[in-house]
Structure 1
Amino acid sequence: MPYITTADGAEIFYKDWGSGQPVVFSHGWPLNSDAWDVELKLAADNGFRAIAHDRRGHGRSSQTWTGNDMDTYAADLNALVDALGLTDIILVGHSTGGGEVVLAAQYGAGRVAKIATAGAVPPVMVKKESNPDGLPISVFDGLRANTLADRSQFFQDLSEQFFGINKGSGISQGQRDQFWRLGMQMSLPAAYDCIKAFSETDFTEDLLALDVPILIAQGDADQIVPIADAAYKSIELVKNGILKVYPGAPHGIAGAYQQALDKDLLEFWKS
């Protein structure tokens, strides 16, 4: 299996399919690169080089004790880009991965052509003085407590909101099982620490600094990352953004939402 080694010795697993302009995918919490398989094949089938990695602590990458923070995640992604010698890159990120690619774009100035995010955590999730509309810290404390108490059952339960099953999304049991399987491949330190990374990192300045086109996509029934605090705010901060809102769509990329999103992603990649 292909790996790169980061400056601190972490081994980062990645997939590399097809050839052409590189499309580099970053996954959400608590998943890994397998969550992007449909989109990886879509990109490769349409003349792109499709690349996705398992974030450190996730999937097949090293289960490091340290480095489970957004700056290190972005540095790891930059290390992958450097190792593969990529230029003219299209970055694609879901949820936590959406924050990772926005931050990594600053490392890749001059090498990144465009960015697409789906259900992304920027600009910032947690409620604080500068973000009074955010979610209270108690929400994220609850995620941490459940992760420690019974991670396996917690991921099974969380899949209901993740895919909007409680809102009638019609997502299959198989999709829920896959969410649980990928989540359970993640180390406990990564599962715990990443909650702080995705909820408390403020990407406002990174969004303001972007000078490449960005597609900001999100379902308006997202129960994990509220659209009012995410896509609707992010589009106001970027210089060259396109907002795509999917009525009734959940956080997890599956079913009808996945079909619609993939159509828009492909159009954006080719534009």
Structure 2
Amino acid sequence: MPFIATPDGTEIFYKDWGSGQPVVFSHGWPLSSDAWDTQLKLLADHGFRAIAHDRRGHGRSTQTWDGNTMDQYADDLGTLIDRLNLRDAILVGHSTGGGEVTRYMGRHGTSRVAKAVLVGAVPPLMLKTDANPEGTPKEAFDAIRAGLAADRSQFYRDLSAPFYGANRPGSTVSHGLRDQFWRLGMQVSLKAAYDCVAQFSETDFTEDLKRIDVPVLVAQGDDDQIVPIRAAAYKSVQLLKDAGLKVYPGASHGIHGAYEREFDADLLAFCRA
């Protein structure tokens, strides 16, 4: 299996499919690169080089005790991009992965980046504050940490319902998809999963978004129960220099079903443009 080693010795697993202009995918919490398989195949089938990695502590990458920070996630992504010598790359980030992509561009610049896609992404800030009243109260994230510490297996099973909108009337979410969420979540070390909650909820990406000088597609479902769209996509497009917004009516946080088919078409069109 392909790995790259970061300066602190962490082994980062990645998939590298197809050839052509590189499209690099960053996954959400608590998943891995496997969550992007449909999009990896789609892009590789259409003449792109599709790449996705497992964040440190997740999937097949090293389960480090330290380094579970947004800055380190961004630096790990930078190491992957540098080691593979990627140029003119398109970066795609979902949820926490959208934060990782945003922090990478804010921290390392865009010299290797052509454009980016943020889908259901956590920027600019998830946490409710006086300056961000649309955010989510800290108590909600404390409950996530408590659920992880008490019984993470059951917690992930329960979380898969709002993640994919399975708790909505008429939901067609399959048991298999929810099982996949649980399976990928259980591959994350407890320490990495626990630490990452603060990173995706409390990191302020406002200044990172302002620094991004490449075209960005901001996409999100308006029934996202995990990342409120009013605190995320609607605010991000106002901070970016060159952004387009796509809202998917009734769509959840997790990408699946009709939402996934529509997003895939939009992703491919954006990459080709």
Deviating 4+ runs (over 6 angstroms):
none
Corresponding residue number in structure 2 for 1:86:
86
Q: Could you tell me which of 219, 223, 226 is aligned with 2:225?
A: 223
Map 1:91-240; keep pairs closer than 5 Å: 91-106=91-106, 107-167=108-168, 168-240=170-242
Distance in 1, Cα, partners of 2:259 & 2:97: 18
Q: Which moved more, 1:165-174 or 1:59-68?
A: 165-174
- Larger CA deviation: 131-140 vs 116-125: 131-140
Q: TM-score, normalised by structure 2?
A: 0.98
Distance 1:143 1:2 in 2: 32
In 2, the alpha carbon distance for the partners of 1:154 and 1:122 equals: 24
Where does structure 2 lack aligned partners over 5 or more consecutive residues? Answer: none
Letter matched to residue 23 of structure 2 = V
Q: What is the CA-CA distance between 1:10 and the residue it aligns to?
A: 0.4
Distance 2:198 2:261 in 1: 31
SS in 1 for 2:188: coil
Which stretch of the first structure deviates more once superposed, 156-165 or 166-175?
A: 166-175
Instruction: Give the TM-score normalised by the residue count of structure 1.
Output: 0.99
Q: State whether residues 89 and 111 of structure 1, in contact with CA within 8 Å, keep that contact through their aligned partners in structure 2.
A: yes
Name the CA distance, whole Å, in 1 between partners of 2:12 and 2:165. 31
Instruction: Tell me the secondary structure at the aligned position of residue 146 of structure 2.
Output: helix
In structure 1, distance between residues paired with 2:44 and 2:241 = 29
Using the TM superposition, give the Cα deviation of residue 211 of structure 1 relative to its aligned residue in structure 2, in angstroms.
Answer: 0.5
CA distance in 2, matches of 1:144, 1:6: 28
How many residue pairs match? The answer is 271
Cα distance between partner residues in 2 of 1:108 and 1:205: 12
Alpha-carbon RMSD across the aligned residues, in angstroms, is 0.7
Paired residues of 1:91 and 1:115 also in contact (CA < 8 A): yes
Please name the residue that 2:32 is paired with.
32
Equivalence for 2:12: 12
Unaligned runs of 5+ in 1: none
* C-alpha distance in structure 1 between counterparts of 2:124 and 2:171, whole Å: 27
8 Å CA contact 2:110, 2:214 repeated in 1: no
- Between 130-139 and 260-269, the greater mean CA deviation after superposition: 130-139
Name the amino acid aligned to 1:231. A
**Secondary structure in 2 aligned to 1:52?**
strand
2:268 to 256, 266, 269: 266
Corresponding position of 2:250: 248
Q: In the aligned structure 2, how far is the partner of 1:110 from the partner of 1:58?
A: 28
Letter in 1 for 2:159: L
